[in-house]
Amino acid sequence: MSKMTTRDALIVLLPLLSDGATFLAMINLLPDFAHTLEEPSGWNALLLILLYLLFCIGVYLIRKLEPWAGDEGWQSPAIFMNPKFRAALAFIFGLLMMTTMAYQIGYFESIQSIGSATLDEGDSSALLVYMPGALLGFSMLYILVLAFPVQSNVPAKSNQFTILALCGLILANGMLFFTTAQARAIVTALGLADGIAMYTMSFLVLALSFAPPRLLYQNKRPYPFGLFSFIILLLISTWYVVS
């Protein structure tokens, strides 16, 4: 095994720094932010769209990094490297995004109150057909980022690698922060009971949604420390959802 350089040591710390910053944000900001998200609004929807686009950029930046060429370390499972499997995960995340955006723009409340007296046939079609299609199409943008081929051409020994890696990890965790707050807001608004079942379901949803970016990074730098810190962050996020 080759001797670890200063840059390698910094890269090892990047996931820890990103996860630590996200944890601090959850402690200081998440409860109040979740309360804000309880009431659907256009501003919340715009913030979600912005964070989603930044999340896609972050995942793209991670994919641009040169992969690890050594044999040591823990790399991602072989099945995850299958584009079809990643596309399936991206589709699941897209459905989550579509549901969240529909909630924030008040779509679910709208379809409960519409009728022939308030909307004509054309307006009803736009609300019930075209709007869900537009939301679904936008949400599926993640498939292009996660599953389609991307040339990994950022050299592992460059300063650019370190900067893009940190940006990618922070942007991915930013989306995790928003999703945790939104999930907590929905759980609170609906009065869902906590318990082992709710905790398990929340953890699985968060893991399926946000493990792919971290597993991608694991193939760029297969040090296990960042993976362990991410699992801890997922557990903390789950606790915030159901607490």
Q: What is the structure's pLDDT at 219?
A: 85
Report the b/e string of 194-232 with b at 16+ CB within 10 A: eeeeebeebbebbbebbbbbbbbbbbbbbbeebbebbee
Q: In sequence order, what are the residues at sequence separation of 6 or more whose Cβ sits closer than 8 angstroms to the Cβ of residue 191?
A: none
Q: In sequence order, what are the residues at sequence separation of 6 or more whose Cβ sits closer than 8 angstroms to the Cβ of residue 92?
A: 208, 209
Give per-residue pLDDT as tens, 37-63. Answer: 988 888 998 999 999 999 999 999 999
Domain map (residue ranges) of the chain:
13-40+52-85+141-242
Give per-residue pLDDT as tens, 3-30. Answer: 567 777 788 889 999 999 999 999 999 9
Vertex 89, ends 85 and 95: CA angle to 5°? 145
pLDDT tops 50 at residue 130: yes
pLDDT tops 70 at residue 230: yes
Give per-residue pLDDT as tens, 66-104. Answer: 987 765 566 667 777 788 999 999 999 998 888 888 888
pTM: 0.87
Task: Report the distance separating Cα 195 and Cα 242, nearest Å.
Answer: 8
pLDDT tops 50 at residue 1: no
- pLDDT tier for residue 117 given thresholds of 50, 70 and 90: very low
